Structure formats: structure tokens, C-alpha cells
Structure 1
Amino acid sequence: MSKFWSDFVQELKPYVPGEQPKDGEYIKLNTNESPFDPSPLAIDAIRQESEENLRLYPDPESDKLREMVGRYYEIPADYVFPGNGSDEVLAHLFYSLFKHQGKKILFPDITYSFYRVYAKLYDINFEAVPLNDQFEIDINDYIRVSADEVCGIIFPNPNAPTGIAVSLEAIEQLLQAQPNIVVAIDEAYVDFGAESAVCLLEKYDNLIVLQTLSKSRSLAGLRVGFALAQPHLLQALVRVKNSFNSYPIDRLAQVGAIAAFEDDAYFEQTRQEIISSREYVSQELSNLGFVVLPSKTNFVFVSHPRVDAAILSAQLRERLVLVRYFDQDRISQYLRITIGTRKQCEILIKTLSEILTSTNIDAE
């Protein structure tokens, strides 16, 4: 703390990312990165761009990337707003669409913690809506609110860190019930088994969908994300972006992202391998006595009825396996475990079995 800080900085509680170890010893199953390398086409495109054009500023509108995303999702290019990862896009969304005097936004009580951080950063009133007893989002909780009091609703689909998805039918019910509230669906993990709301964009002018290339396309190191919505919504984000940084995505990120979308065969292969490994991990953890929530993501959210989650996390770390532990209400006995390679998953199961044996807990 310093006497030179702005007053509000002292009140901020910044987002805390998962541990990024400085050495390569660990099996890293704590930050939901892909276990696979990016598409070879993406790597080649990045290499070529780095040799030819880094002296030049990038396209400030990312037109070629927007056109590529539009073709991929069969929507107009002006329905696409790209940014430096979906977190930056979220920041612009919160500031441009969610800050209305006398109104609040809604998001789940157990969800991506950046929502709460951005709400506090931008002085946006919010209400955290409790998940039900099965850790599911109940759409009725959002359908029955009034647009006189609420200006925005946002939640991930599938939700994080629970991994549980909301059906496309439920999302459309919400959109039909709340035409005067912006509904933002954060689809960071949608490619691992959930239904995307992109197909609803042209029908509902209050819908905005967010996606990222960090998970299913193995490009976390590039930081590329985007919002998809009708142009009248996206123009608000554009105005905020161009008041902050008119060159948001660098040249390497733009060409790498375009190539990743072009290599659909590689995308399908790697995401299917992750889905297959997720089912393997879920079954093996169940065999060890864990409660495993139904996941449509590249991670599983689990608890053991007789072993403290913090202890499990610490003992895994001692054995060089990193998972994510959240010391917060309702989920303090759960671990979020990223799906790695099949070999990494097998090591995880073997290590957990050894820990349970050493603590005299028999697998069920």
C-alpha cells in the first residue's frame, strides 16, 4: 500500500490465477490449459509472420480474424469483436453494457471469479445468485427478475469451476423471458460437450456470447478471445476499446488464431481426446470413492467424502501434481482437476490411490 494509490485501489481484491510453477517438474492440472500443442498450421503461420511483418502495427480491427470467425460460425463478420483473451473482452463488456445507474447485474455465487472482480473494479452493483443443491444454474432464478432492477445477466456455459452445462433450450427460455436485459453467455469451455448459443444470435438482440482460443485450441499463450453479438451491442465494446487501446491483438495472435480455425481436423482430434480422457478420469475417480460432478469441460470438479480437499491438494503437490483448490464457501471440499494427456491422467489416478491408501481410506 502506498500514499500515492488512488482511493479505490485499496478496496480491490484482484483475481488470483492458478499457480504457474517456474520449473518443469510438475504435472500441471490446475489451470485448464490444453495438454496438446497448438495446430501445426498455427505454429507455421506465427513463425512466418514473425519473420516478415513484426515491424508493422497489427490491423486495429482484426478484419481477417473477424471474417474467419464469421465464416466458421456462419454469422456476419460485424457480429465478431476480438480481444486479448476473453478476460479483456469481458472487461470491455462489463464497462460498456453492465454499468447502469440504479441497476445491478446477476451471476452465480459459484462461478468464474473475475465477474466479481470486474464488478467491483467498475463499481457495478451485482447479486450473486446461489446455485442449487446439485451445483446447477437454475434458469428460473434469472427468468423471474425485473428489468427495472437488472441490466445484465452473465454466466459461463458450462459453468466454472463446476463444469455443469445449461441446455440451449433453457438459455432460449431466458432470452425470451428477458428481452430488455443483456444476457452474456461465457462459452470458454463449450467445445468440450455443451451446446453453443451462437445459433441464437440473429434471433435475440440482447444476447452476447464469449469464447476463447485458450482452451480447446491450445493457444493460451497467445491470449485471443472474442465476443459474438449483433453489431449494436458490439459497438459499445468498440467504443470502450478504442478509448483504451485501439491495437488490441498483435500480428502473431491474429495469424495464429486464423490458422487454428482453419485446421478443423486437428481441433476435432484433440478435443475428442480430451473428452475421452475426461470420461476415463471421471470413472476412475468414482471408483476411488470421489463424488464427481457431471462435466462438459476440460476439467472435473470432485470431492471425497472422507478426505479434506485442502489436504488432498497439498499431498498431490508434494508428489508433483498440481490441481486447483478453492478455499471458499460451499466448495471448500472440492478440487478442480484439469484433464491432461492420458499418461498424466493415469499418473493422477495412481497418485490419488496411493494418497488414499496412505491415509487409510479404502477406495469404494
Structure 2
Amino acid sequence: MRNILYVALAVSLATICGATQAQSYPTKPIRLIVPFAPGGTSEVLGRIIAQKMSEHLGQQIVVDTRPGASGGLGTTLTANATPDGYTLLFTSLSPIVINVSVQKGKLPYDPEKDLAPISVITKVPSVFAVQADFPHRTVKDLIAFAKANPGKLSYGSSGTGSVNHLIVELFKSAAGIEMLHVPFKGAGQGLIALRSKEINMISAAPPAVLPHIRSGVFRAIAVSSATRSPALPDTPSISESGILGFDVSAWYCLMGPAGIPRPIIDKVRSTLVKTITTAPVSEHLIAQGAAPAPTTPEELAKLINGDLKRWAKAVEVAGLKR
């Protein structure tokens, strides 16, 4: 009985301490780790959101890009950080669910145990983009050429095992074609390579590639979601282009190291939701093809658990299991 009372008292004190911390939080700048190179979707969206969240919280949020190991480096730094709310992670699903299958048993963190879910930020398709003068105008044209010329078409992604890499691998499998994968250290490098015609196509999220499409340098030939993206209403989905039922998208989220007091998580989440669902940030995200899609921490945890299984199959298709 006495032990039960001690446990209850300890829980109560922890709750009170967490609530007290949340009232004054934050009292210093917050580090927002983006585990990918500058120029990619995570960095682009991270800076947009961090600026407005800084205003709401009254403290600067410093974006710290830490690329490496398909997002694993920055994610490991987050998992090992002090769980006080002053280190947060803005990431795609790649280091959270895909790396678990790619580096089975070798990952230095467990996304379900070492990280605290806060909220999904947005869900986006992959855009298949080519040079404006690329001779193949549609997905059907691309498939026909690839079947007649196996391995002659190349595509770039933000890295081996990245979500955009796996989406093309799933597309290749469904279409029965071969294309050469050229991995880059972030979408920014891939965009440069496409611009200089070192590769034929890139698979990237809308925020990274839309400026180049709107400027007329690139042309979008398809999106990987079941329906068209509102940001690219004239670009067909892969499904409507002949690969019926193809529907694969990525999500981006905010997390922190496990152990952050719940009142601080709630304060960060409420500030995030306010930021991404009100103008001007909400309008900017929608224009970037990344409509806000906030969740509760519990909903994000459930999404992660389900996608660990779903993306394991994609990793197998791509032949990436180590």
C-alpha cells in the first residue's frame, strides 16, 4: 500500500513539475533539427513554420540542418537530446519508418521508443518532374520508352531509401520497367542535376520542385497520389495514367526526444497547429502543395506503427534490406 502511495505521489509531482515548466516554456531558443540537406522539402517547410512559431512562442527557433544516413544522423541527435522541449525534429517519414527496414537491427534509435510524437504537419505526393524539353510527354510515353530501352532512363531522388526513391521503385515494379536510380544528398542536389540534364527525371515532393515547374524550367508528368494535387491541377496522377490503384504519398511531422513532459508537448503542438492552420502560413503551405494535416501525438504514433509495416514491403521491392 505504501509503495502504491509513493508511486502515485511521484506521478503527481511529475505532472505538476511538467505543468509548471510548460507555463514558462520556452525561456531560451529552440533547436529545430532538419535531418536533410538544404533545398529539400523538410528544410523549405521547416523554415517557413519555424519563423511563425518563433513569433507565437516569443523565442527564436533555430533551424539546424543535419543531413546524413538518409535522415538518420539528425534523428539520432534528436533521440539523444535532453527531453526538455529545446530540441525538436522536423522530418519526413524516411528516418522514422523506412530506415527501420533498410537498416534492420542496426539503427541507433528506435522511433517508437526514443522519440516523442507531436503532430503530423502535412501529407504530400511525390512529383515526377522532367526537363521542359524532355521528349516523353506522359507517363505512358515514359513507360513505352523504358520498356523499349531498359535502363536507359535515369531518375534522381534525395537519397537511397528515401521516400521519393521508394515511390519510384514501386512505380517501376507496377509498370514492369527498369530505370537507373541516381541518389543525391538531398533534393536540392537532384534538382541541380536535372537542370543540367545529368538525369532524365526527379522524384520530389511539391515544395521542392514547384518553383522550377512554375518557372517553366521543369515539367511535371505525374503525381504519386490517387488524385491530382491541388497545386498541380493539370498534372495527372499515376493511377489515371494507366497504373490503376497506384497511391503512395509521404508525410512530414514534428517530433522530439522521448521523455518530454506532456504539457510541453501540448504547448508545442498547439502552437504548431495554430501556425500551420492560419494565414499566412496555411496559404503558403497550400500553394506549395502541402496542405496542413495536423494530428494528435497519439494519431501520429498510430500512423508510425502502421507505416513501419507498410513501407517494409516497399523496401523489399527496392531490394534494400541489409
Higher RCO, 1 vs 2 (CA within 8 Å, ≥6 residues apart): 2
Q: TM (normalized to structure 2)?
A: 0.30
Q: TM (normalized to structure 1)?
A: 0.28
Give 1 or 2: higher helix fraction: 2
